[in-house]
Amino acid sequence: MSDERLQTNLLGIAMKTPVLTASGTFGFGEEFKDFVDLSRLGGVMVKGTTLLPRRGNDGVRITETPEGMLNCIGLENPGVEHFLEETLPRIQQYGMNVIVNISGSTAEKYGKLAELLDVPGVAAIELNVSCPNVKEGGIVFGTDPEAAAAVVCEAKAHTKKPVILKLSPNVTDIVAMARAVEAAGADAVSLINTLLGMEIDINRFRPVLGNITGGLSGPCVKPVAVRMVWQVAQAVRIPIIGMGGIASAEDAVEFFLAGASAVAVGTANFTDPEITMKICDGLDTYLAEHGFSSIEEIVGKANPGFLGFRNDVQKG
């Protein structure tokens, strides 16, 4: 199947399709090479990366929930040095756009990571701000507009790569967060990250997860994610990468209609490792059946307050 209708350009990155994979659900991409044409994806948001290696949380890390899952992996990863020396050279053979998700405990650490990753083979940086800021008494970067903006400023000062800010849904006002990071220079936003949740073992009388709480993802969060993309698309002009519970082409279309310029598939990769390819095929069929020649034609089409980004608008 030709992907001509699906071709897009996001942040200067040429993409065969607007379908990406969400960080933490797709490893470094190579784990799915037997199931997916990695070069066909718009990009692979690789496993969250920190300055130093992390072993992650102890105890139970994942539990299934109705229409989703809870996880508290704890950012287990081999560290940025290993990624640059070992992983990046190896995965470049697959011809995919590599977007590196980074996390830190201070704004300065985000800046250092952005600087280290300003290398050939990295298409963009995604800032995971669902982390506590140790300099500010443990407040989570992603719940405070000023703190999130500071992270963006620090990253932008240390890289020429596009910077994407991943918005947390665990806030009162998602629009305030989006506007703050846009004003700070973010090139795009991705949303949503996981919702905070927990599960209790009623026979052992204690929380199931070793970390007590975890991130809720999967189809159960999709209505929240679509609503937040809709709201943010009415407030910012930078591109939006929509994610949260996408498990079919129809799900993806909802995000585009709400105002997303691209989508990322997460939890569904665990239940069907070929799901991204099926979504690409389904999107192409949807566009053909509705008489559209490009994905850009449906971005924000259902959102009367849509302010945001379209490549065709930029060209005009």
Separation CA 13–CA 42 (nearest Å)? 9
Active site residues: 131
